[in-house]
Structure formats: C-alpha cells, structure tokens
Amino acid sequence: MKFKLSMLTLFMAFVVQFSFAQEKTITGTVSDSDGFPLPGVNIIVKGTTNGTQTDFDGNYSISAETGSVLVFSFVGYQTQEHTIASAATINVKLVAGEQLEEVVIVAFGEKTRDELTSAVSTVTSEELSKLSPSTSIDNMLQGIAPGVQVTGANGKPGQTAYVRVRGIGSINAGSAPLYIIDGVVAPDMSSVNPNDIESLSVLKDAATASLYGSRAANGVVVIKTKTGRKNRAAEITISSRFGYGQKIDDNFRMMNTAQKIQYERELAALGVTNAVQLPGATIQSDEEYQYLLSLDHDWQETLLRKSTVQSNALSITGGSEEISYFLSLGHDRNTGIVKDIDGFERLNARLNINYQAKEWLEIGTNVSVSRTTSDEPRDRNNVQNPFRAMYDYNPYEPKYEVDENGDIVLDANGDPKYNLTTNGFSISEALVNNPERENYTYIIAGLNAKAKIVDGLTNTFQIGATSTNYRREYYVKPGSVLDGYVGDANNPGSKTDNGSFDFDFTLTNLLSYNVLFGDKHDLTVTGLFEFNKDTFRTYSLSSIGFVSGDLSVQSIAAEPTGASTNLFENTLVSFGGFLDYNYDNRYIVTGSVRRDASSVFGINNQYGVFWSASAGWNITNESFMENNTLFNNLKLRASAGTSGNRSGLSSYGWQAQIGFGSLNGQTTAVPTDNGNPDLGFEKNFIWDLGLEFAMLNNRLRGVVDYYERTTSDLLLNVPLLRLGGEPDGSILSNVGEMKNTGIEIQLTGDIVKNNDWLVTLGGNIALVDNKVTKLNATEEFPNGAPITRDNGLTRIEVGEEINTFWMPMYAGVNPANGEPLYYDADGNVTNVYNADANVLMSGKSPLADFDGGVNLYVRYKGFDLATDFYYKFGHYVMNYMQSNMLSDGTGVDANQRVDAFNYWRQPGDTNVLPSPLYGNSAQQTSDRWLQKGDYIRLRNLTVGYNLPSEFTGQVGIKSLRIFVQGQNLWTWTKEFRGDPEVGIGSGETANSVFGTYNLYSYPQTQSISVGVDLKF
C-alpha cells in the first residue's frame, strides 16, 4: 500500500511540474511518404531536453518558443528539422532512409540487420509489450521466435521455463541457453523485470554464439535493458496491471458424491475388494446416503481460489549533454490459486547510467536489484500436494470433521478439527501448518568504460558481477498432522533453514580496431580477454522442538539436528579474436576464434578452442537490383562454427577425491570419486543456411533457416566393473553424439495497411528432428548401449530420437471377459502382463516434431487487438494422472473421473475400460497411458485503446493506453486429457526429462487483467 501511495505522489508531482512548463503549443501529424501516420516518432526541440513522441495517429503536440527548431527522428527514416514560425501546426512527411537501421544486439555489441550474417531472433520492447505477460521473460518467448521452444516448468507464480534453442543439446548436461544481460551472465530469468528490456536477441547459430565459447552450445539469449537518450527531457512511464487468474478448467469431469457412491457400490458388488469397506458399499439406509449427499463439495473449490495478479512499474528516463539514465522500479504480485498461502512477489529496481566523461571516454553502469518471495505448496506425487489432493479426496469427505448433524467438530482449543480423510492427511491443514517459503535476492551489476584510444581503436573494459542469495525455510509446526507422523514426540515441530550464496564475477576487455579503406572495405578486428570466477556457498540448518507455531527461528529450538555448509569455486580464462569484414554492405564475412581454459575441465584437457565463420550477401544492395521493385530486402547467409557446453561439469568432478563422512559419530575418510582427468566440455558444431526477405513495399517479410547441429563428446556415465571399487560404479566420460536438424520459417504480412487500419498476420514454425548417433560402445552394442531413463519409461538409443518411450504395449480390452490385453515380447496378444516386454516406441518421445506461433495484430485508429496462439505437435506424454483417475478399481478409495463408469460390463462390450476385476493387471506401465500431446493454445488476447493526443496533450501526458488482456483463454488438445503443457511432472522428480509425464505439478492458469500504460 505504501508503495502505491508513493507512486501516486510521484505521479502528481510531475503532473504539476508539467502544467507550469507550458509555452506555445505546436501540433501536427507525422506520416510516411505514402501518407500513413507514423506513431512513436521522436520530436525534440533542438538544443534542449524538451521532447515528445507522436501518438498512434501520428499526431503530436509540443510546447516551444517561436524560432526554435523541431527535430523529427524515427528508426528507418531520415531525420528532418523544422523551424517554428507563426503557424501552430507543422505536418511532416518522413522519407525512408538507410542511416537509421534496426539495430540487433549480438555478442559483445550491436549490428544492423544488413551486417548480420547469422540466425538471430530478436524481440524488441515494443513487441514484448504485446506478449502474454509473465514475471519471467522466458515464458513470454513461447511461440515468438522460431527454433526457440519454450515449455513452462509449471503454472506456479514466478516459475521460469524450459527454453530449448534448436532442439535438445545434451543427455546429462544442461540444455538451457546462456543468458547475458547487458554483458553479464544472468543467474535466473525471474531476476529481470520484462518491463526493463529494450531488446532481446536469441543467437541460434554458431556465427555469433561461438563468441561465448564453452558456454554457448545451447544458444545464447542476449538482453539489453533500456537506457536513456542524451539531450532528452525526463520521460516517466507508469504501467499498471491488475487482474484475476484461475486454474484452467479440466477437459474431463471428476465424480460428485452421488456418482462416487454409485461407483463404489458397483465395484463392491462386482467383488472388488478395495471397494468393500467404502461408504458406497457400507451405507445401510437412505438416511446415511442423504447425509453423504449433504456433504458433497468440489475439492477444487475447497482448496483453490482465484488468484490476484498485480503488476506496477515506474520508470524515468532521459539525459543531458553528457549523461543519460534509466531508472525503474517494479512490483509484481501473483497470489497463486492455492488457498491459505501467498504466491509470488517481486520487488525490483534498476539504474542504468551512461556518462561521457571525456570526448574519448564513456563510462556506464547497469545495476539491478530484485527480491522475490514465494510460498511453496508441496509439489510432490502424494496428497501432501494440494493439486493431487483435489483430485484424490472424495467429494463426500469434508474439509473439517462434521458430526451427524452436519456441524463442524471443534478441537480442544475451539478450532475446527481438520478431517484427515481416507488418505490420513489433511492438505488444508498442511498448507496452514507446514509453510515453506523461498526468497531470492539478485544483484546484477555491470560497470563499463569505453575509450577511443586513437582513431579506429576502441577499448571496452567491463566488470560484471551477479550475486544471488537464496533462502528457503520449511517449518513443520508443532502439533501439526505431519509432525505427528514424522516428528519427535518429545521435541515437537521441526524447522529447516537452507540456502545458498552465489557470486559470479566476470572481467571482460575488448580491444577493437576498425578501419575503412578504399571507401568500401570496412574491417573490424577485435581482441577479447575474459576472466570469470564463480563462488557458490550453501548452508543447511535444522532443529526440532518448538514452543509454538508462531515462532519459527531456530534460536528457540530445543535441539539442533543438522548443520552443513559447502563451498564450490570455478574459473574460466578466455582469449578471443574476432574479425568482421563488410564490402559495400553487399558482402559480409565474419570469423572468430576463442580459447577457453577452465578449472572444471580435466587436467589433460584444460582448454578448448572454438571457431566460427560466416558470410552474408545483401542481394538487394547489388547494382543489378537497383531497379527491382519487388524486393525491399533480400539476403542470403551461411554460417558454421563450434561452441561448448560445460554445464554438465561440476566444479571438481574431474578430480579424484577423498571425502568425509561419519560412522558412529566419528569421522570417516573414503574415496568418493576417482575422477577423470580427461573430462571435458561437450562439443557443438552447427551450420546454418538462411534467407531473409522483405517484399511488396515491406508488406511481406520473412526468414527461412535450415541448420544441422551436431553435439558430440556428450557426457555419459560409462559403467566400470565393480572390481575397481569405484564409489559410484561409473566414470563420467565424453562419449555420446547427437544430431538435431531443423527448418525454421517466420512470415509476417501486413494484410491491410492504410490510414485507419493496420492488420498484420504473422506466424512461425520450427521443425526439428533429433537423432542419437553414438553412445557408449560395448561388446553387445558396438554402436552404443541404450540408456534407460525416467525409471525405465524412456530410452536413449542410437538411431532414435532422444528419450524415446519404451514400455510394454497395451492391446485393449478382451470383449469376452473385460480383461486387459497386452502384447508379449514377440508381438502376440496375451492376457499376461510382462514388465520386460518393453517395446521402443520409435518416433514417440516428449520431443515435439514442430511448434510455433501464430499472431494477429489489428489496429484501427486508437484501438488495437493482439492475439498470440502457440501450437506444439508430435510429442507424447505419459498421462499418469489419467491412470490414477481411471484406476480400474485399484484406486477406488480416491475420487475418480466420471468416465471411470465406462468399464466392461458384459461380453461384447467394446471401447470400454477393463473390468475393475482385473484392476491390478490393467494398472501397469504400458502405452495405454501414453498420449499424443498435440495442442493449440490462445496464449494472449489483448484489446487496447490509446487515448488521442488532443486529450492527453491537454494535461501534459504523452500517451495513455488502457487495455484488457486475457491469458490462456482457450486450449485445444487432440487426445490429451489434462493440461497439455507439461513441464516438470512433479517437483520431486524435477530432475527427470521435462514433458515425459504429468504428476500433479502446479497447473497452468488463465487470467484476465486490465492495465494502464502512461507516459508523460
């Protein structure tokens, strides 16, 4: 509340200040040469910091004295100057020009689109503002950039996403891209406020990513935050959003009390032993039945709520002759959909300053601080998890115990007594009495100095540091139900405080020489030195014996039960040389070499050399294209190069170690790992062929890329004979190889473009094909022995897609007697389930064949509408939740889906579930639960209105936009029942391959919010 008040005060202060500043008001319209209005054109009074922008209609309004000069500038157009005379209206037509081209952020710098020779997907702040909002930028990229596949980890507020650039790049190491914010390696995407982002580039191929060497194999996401502009009056932006969210409705129905009682009764009558003791079988009278009916409730309603989503951001940007600045504050809050706990909250602040210290020296700093707080529901596969409990608890089981009159039973303290349900556990009670909370504090700071030493020679020095403090508290309050199960009766209550401190420090120096000779040869040579050190500390403390649920600090605990700290350090020392050559903006060639040495590489393998080469041909810049009217831009480009992935290497993994433990309270020293001095990073080689075009007066724009990506030296645990006594039975070695091949297409067309209307339809698709080409060879498997993953659900086999499902096959229900049938190892139908009759389901894996987005943008005068669809096809998901909800009688004590009634009842029944009499053999791991995950989702629907400047100008407001936004409003699935966006199956199994199965993790939510964006 305090925060909101101060924002308001600030707001008022500026309004007042602006109203005093009025002089003579000039108005007018800025349009392009065809007469279409240009929104967002910058207008400043020359020599002052007084400036404004045109609104959506191209209208502007500015106060200035007669005789002063207005400067009109806009990206892609030639700048114009107009002197103010007597006229109060100045209309301007800007002519398209080449001197202000779109700038793309790449490794260690920026390039124009013309200069670019590699596959880079970019997203600007303007585009970001049209996307589905999230506290974490990675979630927003879903369906936006082809070849950048984004899967939300789950729907928990503040959660980040799985981002995969051009397929999966590793088996045991990480496959996430490297994130760079303002030149600093970023710890976590929830540390950055999306409102602060000016531009984001995904470096997909080697030509630019290779410059980041041994960390770039999975692609690089480079983010530049907003900066102020020199000689500009302060501009204040306030963005505020408020809305509600809720769980997306299931595409199936759970039973209500009447149905569940009926189901229990049916199964008990059939002779299913699990059902015999259940209410449906034991009730004797209509009175008892009516009583149960009176208890009917929907556990989803009992446990969940509508979430409140709030986002407020304030930024101030501007600059004088020598300094430019960007200051922002942000507050985000999402209460989440679970009752009784708070969700996610983030406060963040950023200050970016650039200062022209000398004519030849520019210094700058980018500093951001953010703090997140998140209440964690227990994300695990049992009823301690509210999202499992809401499906498992029976509708006739009340939240609180009730007596025969329907009154709530009170405990000795006079509080309602929680009903422990048939599962022996009350999740409602646990949410209150077993709180778990996580805090992160991020400080990301970059300091840089850019000096022009002599003409053409520039030195850029940067120090980047990130500090990540993580803290988790988990309190099992004394007297809670869980404490009764796992606690110490003499010392009730238990508390764990654990966390980590990560400090990552990078020193970068770039010495760059640029020369233009013969008027057309533009050559830049750059030398890089980089040093990086990461220090990671952890701690964990726990105690038992607490006096009250209200006090949870461990200083009051009766007995400490555990304490542990640890420290990990690693370093990276790099040298690099980069070359950029540009002939007349027609032929562009780049090359790079980088040598990384790291403490995490084995002593026999302590450095790696990475290279890249690329070339681009701007066909439209050729003289023979001068008279072409079809293409505004046509470019061919090719690149190839290498990079590394060191994320699978632990700090000291290559070293043989004697570690310490204890036995009977005394120290033991034991070899914990024999290490591998040959251990190295995983290697990535990628080549790419791309075509970019803009045609029909820039109305149709597109990019097409084809690539082949080979990752080799993949880290695998090569098993060792027991004889050597290797503690973990295997040696981590660089052996595997995998190939990703793909095509990416992006097309955008302005279907209608005139004075009042703009209709733009865009779409992209990324097809990717993954194939494992080499694994650890053995006598039996000379090409490589298959690796079984995820408890035997999937396999990695040479010649197949990574993580291909591997399980016995279900052959349906025997219409004669309702028993489940399977295929045996030889492919014959049998009624005997054999867990060893696994079949590799070639082509069926959690990996999609293709995904992408379709977006439509419509603008009519001040109104705009933006929609984003995301689609993903060709992947499979093990639907464990369905197996529990259609449990064929084995889980009849828990609630079931309504279609569980559709079981075999009489000979001849087809298209039915197996008879519950065969529940145990029906509920076996098989492809019965393997479902196609294809889905389409309306990620975002936004309708907005920009107030015309004739109104806003009156009160000194530059622009005011109001909008209504809906998120995840519609979803289509082919056959999948449940939420098709499957990230982590369950928090407990987050280490497994994402998307393999669903297991009651926090579901995705949908929301509606209203917002205001205000600039003055």
Which parts of this chain interact with another protein (CB under 8 A)?
358, 360-361, 451-454, 459, 461, 507, 509, 529, 531, 533, 566-571, 573, 597-600, 606, 651-652, 655-672, 674, 719-727, 729, 731, 778-780, 785
Q: How far is the CB of 784 from another protein (least distance, A)?
A: 13
Q: How far is the CB of 573 from another protein (least distance, A)?
A: 5
Q: How far is the CB of 273 from another protein (least distance, A)?
A: 12
Take residue 846 and report the two structure tokens written for it: 């959690």
Place of tokens 């075999």: 904
Distance from chain centroid for Cα 828:
44
Instruction: Give me the torsion for CA of 420, 422, 423, 425, rounded to 10°.
Output: 0
Residue type, 248: I
Q: How far is the CB of 778 from another protein (least distance, A)?
A: 6
Q: Which is nearer to another protein, 630 or 656 (CB)?
A: 656
Place of tokens 């461990």: 554
CA dist., res. 59 & res. 959, Å (int)? 11
Take residue 469 and report the two structure tokens written for it: 């403090």
Q: Which is nearer to another protein, 458 or 552 (CB)?
A: 458
Task: Give CA separation, 315 vs 9, 48, 191, 334, 1016, in Å.
Answer: 14, 21, 17, 21, 11
Q: Which is nearer to another protein, 233 or 465 (CB)?
A: 465
Q: How far is the CB of 302 from another protein (least distance, A)?
A: 29
Cα torsion 187, 189, 195, 200: sign? positive
Q: Which is nearer to another protein, 85 or 489 (CB)?
A: 489
Q: How far is the CB of 920 from another protein (least distance, A)?
A: 13
Q: Which is nearer to another protein, 126 or 322 (CB)?
A: 322
28 Rama sector, left if φ>0, alpha if ψ -120 to 50, beta otherwise: left
Q: How far is the CB of 691 from another protein (least distance, A)?
A: 42
Q: How far is the CB of 572 from another protein (least distance, A)?
A: 9
Q: How far is the CB of 197 from another protein (least distance, A)?
A: 31
DSSP states of 759-799 as a string? EEEEEEEEEEEEEEEE----SS-TT---EEEGGGTEEE-TT
- The helix/strand/coil state of 545 is coil
- H/E segment holding residue 566: strand 559-583
Q: Which is nearer to another protein, 531 or 863 (CB)?
A: 531
Q: Which is nearer to another protein, 47 or 724 (CB)?
A: 724
Q: Which is nearer to another protein, 459 or 633 (CB)?
A: 459
Q: Which is nearer to another protein, 508 or 620 (CB)?
A: 508
Q: How far is the CB of 561 from another protein (least distance, A)?
A: 8
Q: Which is nearer to another protein, 518 or 665 (CB)?
A: 665
DSSP states of 205-267 as a string? SHHHHGGGGGG-TT-EEEEEE----TTEEEEEEEEEEEEEEEEPPPSS-B--HHHHHHHHHHH
CA dist., res. 613 & res. 529, Å (int)? 20
Q: How far is the CB of 539 from another protein (least distance, A)?
A: 13
Place of tokens 């489940």: 820
CA dist., res. 843 & res. 770, Å (int)? 10
Q: Which is nearer to another protein, 406 or 456 (CB)?
A: 456
Task: Give CA separation, 438 vs 330, 346, 763, 907, in Å.
Answer: 19, 12, 38, 56
- The helix/strand/coil state of 686 is strand
Alpha helices (runs of H) in 50-182, residue ranges in sequence order: 125-128, 137-140
What are the residues whose beta carbons fall under 8 Å from the beta carbon of 287, sequence distance 6 or more? none
Q: How far is the CB of 908 from another protein (least distance, A)?
A: 36
Q: Which is nearer to another protein, 450 or 635 (CB)?
A: 450
Are 243 and 342 in contact, with CB atoms under 8 Å apart? Answer: no
Q: Which is nearer to another protein, 459 or 621 (CB)?
A: 459
From 966, 928, 926, select the one nearest 944 (Cα to Cα).
966
Q: How far is the CB of 557 from another protein (least distance, A)?
A: 16
Q: Which is nearer to another protein, 584 or 726 (CB)?
A: 726
DSSP 977: -
DSSP 387: H
Q: Which is nearer to another protein, 415 or 569 (CB)?
A: 569
What are the residues whose beta carbons fall under 8 Å from the beta carbon of 340, sequence distance 6 or more? 428, 431, 432
Q: Which is nearer to another protein, 294 or 668 (CB)?
A: 668
DSSP 3: H
Are 108 and 180 in contact, with CB atoms under 8 Å apart? Answer: no
Q: How far is the CB of 566 from another protein (least distance, A)?
A: 6
CA dist., res. 33 & res. 54, Å (int)? 16
Q: How far is the CB of 960 from another protein (least distance, A)?
A: 47
Q: How far is the CB of 832 from another protein (least distance, A)?
A: 16
From 199, 196, 160, 155, select the one nearest 176 (Cα to Cα).
160
Q: Which is nearer to another protein, 78 or 651 (CB)?
A: 651
Q: How far is the CB of 249 from another protein (least distance, A)?
A: 39
DSSP 112: E
From 186, 189, 181, 132, select the one nearest 158 (Cα to Cα).
189
What are the residues whose beta carbons fall under 8 Å from the beta carbon of 466, sequence distance 6 or more? 184, 185, 186, 187, 442, 443, 444, 445, 502, 503, 504
Take residue 531 and report the two structure tokens written for it: 């040093």
CA dist., res. 742 & res. 738, Å (int)? 13
Q: Which is nearer to another protein, 1 or 721 (CB)?
A: 721
Q: How far is the CB of 276 from another protein (least distance, A)?
A: 13
